[in-house]
Amino acid sequence: MHCLLLPILLSFVAVSLTAAERPNVLIIVADDLGYNDVGFNGGKDIATPHLDKLAARSVRCTNGYVSHPFCSPTRAGLLTGRYQHRFGHENNPAWLPQSTKDGLPIDQITLPQLLKRAGYATGHVGKWHLGAHPQFHPMKRGFDESFAALGGGHLYFADGKGGEEYKIPLNRNGVDEPQRGYLTDQFGDEAAAYVQRHADGKPWMLYLAFNAPHTPLQAPENWLAKFADITDKNRRTYAAMVACMDDNIGKVLSALETTKQSENTLVTFVSDNGGPHLARKGNGMTDFADNSPLRGCKGDVYDGGIRVPFLVSWPAKLKPSVYSQPVIALDFFATSVSVASGEMPTDRAMDGVNLIPYLAGEKNEAPHKILFWRSGGLNGLHGARMGDWKYVAAAGKAPELYDLASDIGETKNLASEKPDVLKKLQDAVAEWEKGTVPPVFDGAKQGKPKTKKKSK
């Protein structure tokens, strides 16, 4: 139990700041971005100059994780600072505007709610995917304003073809409005405008959640032309989408610079999970994301599904560096509340920690003793990381144990050679699961809910 209480205690480590020193908080999330599809992680064929520039002034976390291998649960964990398994948000909610169950439970305290209490303006731009019912709307969950694609995905061009959820109107502050132009550009423009509007000295938070480069693979011709040398159509379109997202992140970073806010803005960047391998689904699409040198992809608890590009920048307090201890996007919650001089919840277990003392070199120990993953409920996939040891288990299969220090690709199963380490991790997972609940919604396919057949 001690190892599970440690994150709660550490989350109260605070940075002593005056009101004028409190930084703005900008959280940027990409959608289904491959680990090796950014320049700062070694990618070569997709230019990401703006993210690379951000990385050059950031702490680059080379063992940075998210709390789930696919979309909505990761976002639920990030915005609550808790393993989403504690409150049953383990699946992607279906697009069901009539359902008060399929979404981020309303009894969960969100990051924007706490930052509002601390005197921050709070804004959301981009993908939501945390429930379709009005009670789940971003402005009901702590955001002062929101420009959103409320579902789990969206068409990039207004005249494209797609299912109901992908064609719903965009939503500005609770009012639907039609889509204009290429969606990634709209999100970039809206985020940059938010930064420019909030240059009056009052601290602000912006949650910028791109849906790029998630499918459908759609990109403007001018961006496609820049990758004409990539022969695979899917990879070329994906590359254009990543580059366009990078360009729009550049717009936001430029707005920070022109309004003289870049030095005192805490900027974090992650993908919500690893890049997908759609070919395995038999849908005729070729793989287009690159998670190398990691094993696996979106949906896996191998590192290819959960280890992501991970940046933390705060030029006023953090020097550019590389940080190799395992960290997780759950930490953004405690970190943001701490630098905002806010108050963490005391009525529930919290799992993220304030990263600033670790990234600043004030604390040398690891921020987390163990990190946990689960997908598919108690009988689904399990993963845990303790130091360099990585545990992977699936129901009905032999457990797996890897030494990530020498085997980043998780190729050599050492479970039989290190039974003591294996047992320690298995016991830790069993203890952690005592604080979790089963999924509260089933993540059915998008569309109308199933209805029971009438009895004859």
Gap between the Cα atoms of 349 and 355, Å rounded: 18
Q: How many CA atoms are closer than 13 Å to the CA of 124, on its beta-carbon side?
A: 30
How many residues in total does the chain contain?
456
Contact in structure between 36 and 42 (CB atoms under 8 Å): yes
Is residue 3 annotated as a catalytic residue, yes or no? Answer: no
Q: Give me the torsion for CA of 439, 443, 444, 446, rounded to 10°.
A: 160
Residue among 61, 68, 71, 277 flagged as catalytic: 71
At a CB cut-off of 8 Å and minimum separation 6, what does 164 contact? 95, 446, 447
What would the two tokens of residue 397 be?
Answer: 């299969």
Is residue 129 annotated as a catalytic residue, yes or no? Answer: yes
Residue among 129, 137, 154, 368 flagged as catalytic: 129
What would the two tokens of residue 394 be?
Answer: 């699936």
Contact in structure between 190 and 199 (CB atoms under 8 Å): no
Sheet-wide strand order for 59-61: 175-177, 170-172, 145-149, 121-127, 204-209, 24-30, 265-271, 310-313, 59-61, 321-323
Nearest-CA neighbor of 188 among 241, 263, 120?
Answer: 241
Pair type for strands 24-30 and 265-271: parallel
Is 82 in a helix, a strand, or coil? coil
Identify how many contiguous H helices and E strands the chain contains and give both numbers: 12, 16
Which active-site residues does the annotation give? 71, 129
